Amino acid sequence: MDRENAGRELAELTLVERSRANAPSGVTVVSVCITCKTADGAIVVGPDMFESVKAAIGESDRNVQVRPVQCLSVCKRPATVAVSSSDGYTFLFGDLQTESGTAALVSFVQSYQKSDYGLVPWRERADVLRKGMVARVPPLRWSPDDGSAPK
C-alpha cells in the first residue's frame, strides 16, 4: 500500500459510522423545567435554560422536540432537564448552568439518537452531565427477565 492510497482509505473508513439497530425511533423529547429557581429561591433559572436549549437545537432537527414543563421535582438541583423517547432510556439531569448545560445537552441528544436504546456511553457524556446525573430510567417496553440491558 502506498502513502497516497493509505490516506484515502483512512479517510473513507472514518466516514463510515456504525449503524445502531436499536437506536430510539421517533422524536427525542428534551423537557426543560421552567419553574427551577436558584437554591435561595431568588432567581427563576428555568426559563433561561429552556430558551437557550430551544435556540441551540432550534428547528434544524425535526426529530427533537424541546418543551417546557412545570417542575421535574428535582428542586434542590436547578436547572433540571430530562431527555427521553418512546422507546429509549429517560435521562434526568440537574445542576445545569445555562451555557455549559446547553452545549452538553446538544451533544448528548446527538449521541442519544445514535445509541442503542438511547443509552449514551458514560465516556460520551460531558462532565457537567456526568456530575448532574439524577436518574436513568429504562424504556417502558423493556422487560428482560433478568433486568439486564437489552441486546
Least confident of 9-23, 42-56, 88-102, 129-143: 9-23
Looking at residue 36, what is its pLDDT? 92
Looking at residue 10, what is its pLDDT? 43
Looking at residue 1, what is its pLDDT? 46
Q: Is the pLDDT of residue 142 over 90?
A: no
Count other Cβ atoms within 10 Å, centred on residue 133.
14
**Helix or strand or coil: residue 149?**
coil
Asked if 117 contacts 22 with a C-beta cutoff of 8 angstroms, the reply is: yes
* Cell triple for 102: 446547553
Prediction pTM value: 0.82
**What are the tens digits of pLDDT across the range 67-103?**
999 999 999 999 999 999 998 999 999 999 999 999 9
Residue type, 109: V
Average pLDDT, rounded, for the chain: 85
Count other Cβ atoms within 10 Å, centred on residue 49.
25
Closest CA relative to residue 31, chosen from 67, 80, 55, 62: 67
**What are the tens digits of pLDDT across the range 3-29?**
455 454 444 444 334 446 788 888 999
50 alpha-carbon distance from chain centroid: 14
C-alpha angle 58-122-118 in degrees, rounded to nearest 5: 50
